[in-house]
Structure 1
Amino acid sequence: MENEKLGEHLDVKDILVKGLNVWYGPVHAVKGVELSIPAGSITAILGANGAGKSSTLKAFAGSVKYSGTIIVGDESIDRLPVHERVRKGLVLCPEGRGIFYHMTVKENLLAGAYTNKKANLDFVFGIFPFLKERLNQIAGTLSGGEQQMLAIARALMAAPKYLMLDEPSLGLAPIVVQRITDVIKYINENLKITVILVEQNTSVALSIAHHGYVLENGKVALQGRAEELRDNPVVREKYLGGVKK
């Protein structure tokens, strides 16, 4: 993973979320959520399926309507459309990978660079060297783990300051999950990119996160440093199988 320190020039600021609400018709999916995401951190948003995790990320990305306020540094982004949020460095890697299955690896990567005129394929090859060998391969023929890595690489092509990852370990074998978590740590520590990580796999998320929030029924039930959440008996009982990890 030899790369220039892309993050050294990033003007990354804290994110503050106040009173976030997301509705889908009559369904109140996110209920007054308040978050503080420190610049340069890996912040995990945890909880069971349907807890409001993905809806929270989609509000960050601007892909769902919401009420409340999302502030980056001292600037509200609430009125910005999706593409303007991407230009400001908020990039979502969606659940289910969201790659273009009938396009080549190269075409997928370049699609991620549509807001970044200085996108550098060699940069992502340094993190995912196998992609260089697969440039002309159809993305849908990659393995599940390779597709997930392609999805993350495509997000990096947009030069994010804040990388939002929605369930990156979903459906992957443990050895592949370890590879993905290694990449996430590298992105954060070496590229200085703030990571917002939504995961049902609480053990994996808390093994790399600095801070975490646990959502239940659309509300923040618990929050704290990752090690505090790992030691919390409620978290251990509900999300870690009752075993201290």
Structure 2
Amino acid sequence: MANDLTIKNLNVWYGPVYAVKGIDIRIAEGSITAIFGANGAGKSSTLKAIAGGIKYQGNIYIGENAIDNLPVHQRVRRGIVLCPEGRGIFYNMTVKENLLAGAYTNSRSNFDIAFSVFPFLKERLNQIAGTLSGGEQQMLAIARALMANPKYLLLDEPSLGLAPIIIQKIAEVIRHINETLKITVVLVEQNTSLALNLAQYGYVLENGRVALHGKSNELKNNPVIQEKYLGGASK
């Protein structure tokens, strides 16, 4: 499609550590695309590079337009919004203040969109964010990202540390965001089963390189994926 998100020859270093090693990824507009792999594989670094939060070499395009020279806030205005690993909410601020922080580049506040996805937040606007449960904090982090009116929502480990019943709720939210709100989702997950059940396409990173990629159904049936990431059996 005209507005696919394309990453070409992406390289990331942290001092002497070569974290991402010349990877190519294409995120189809309107899709959910999963990036998964073990700790240290380069998943989060890839998302941070797309969002503009770290230095990198290579090229990132929206459609045919390179965005490499754009700082973070201008990428947000182009629709690229990162929901970081560990939620990154402001624990001492209220729910409302957290949501407004997500809308700082937006000319209007998308409270209606945030509340349509997470109705409980409407009743919690004056609650201190740090007093929410872990699952509620993750939902607040995603709602804050929605306040920026994303076209491409980058989700970094949204299921991390959550109970299975909450993970299921987060999965339903991700589907709703993609199918109903028509937002392209890039999902970084160590929970490979979750990632492949949600996504249409997946990339496996190992030691900073793309080891495998393909349609999710194909990856689920791949013996290497089953053995290394799905506990030895197709799920």
Q: TM-score, normalised by structure 1?
A: 0.95
Deviation of 1:12 after TM superposition, in Å, equals: 7.3
Partner SS for 2:127: coil
Work out the CA distance in 2 between the residues paired with 1:31 and 1:122.
41
Mapped pair 1:168 → 2:158: yes
Which residues of 2 match residues 1-245 of structure 1 at below 5 A? 13-245=3-235
Q: Distance in 2 between matches of 1:244 and 1:191?
A: 30
Structure 1: which 5+ residue stretches go unaligned? 1-10
Letter aligned with residue 24 of structure 2:
E
Cα distance, 1:120 vs structure 2: 2.5
Amino acid at match of 2:206: E
Task: Find the aligned partners of 1:73 and 1:84 in 2 and give their Cα distance.
Answer: 16
Distance 1:72 1:116 in 2: 19
State the distance in 1 between where 2:56 and 2:122 align: 39
AA partner of residue 172 (structure 1): L
The superposition leaves residues 143-198 of structure 1 with CA deviations (integer Å, 9 ceiling, x where unpaired) of 00000000000000000000000000000000000000100000000111000000
Structure 1 runs (4+) deviating above 2 angstroms are: none
Answer whether contact 1:61 1:90 (CA < 8 A) is retained. Answer: yes
Offset of residue 56 of structure 1? 0.2
SS of equivalent to 1:191: coil
CA distance in 1, matches of 2:184, 2:99: 21
In structure 2, distance between residues paired with 1:230 and 1:176 = 23
- How many residue pairs were aligned? 235
State the 1:65 CA deviation: 0.3
The letter for the 1-side match of 2:38 is: A
Question: What is the alpha-carbon root mean square deviation over aligned residues?
Answer: 1.0
Q: How far apart, CA to CA, are the structure 2 residues paired with 1:161 and 1:120?
A: 14
SS in 1 for 2:114: helix
Identical counterparts, % of pairs: 72
Q: Do 1:44 and 1:211's aligned partners in 2 also have CA atoms closer than 8 Å? A: yes
- Secondary structure at 1:228's aligned position in 2? helix
| Alpha-carbon distance, 1:15 to partner | 1.1
Q: TM-score, normalised by structure 2?
A: 0.99
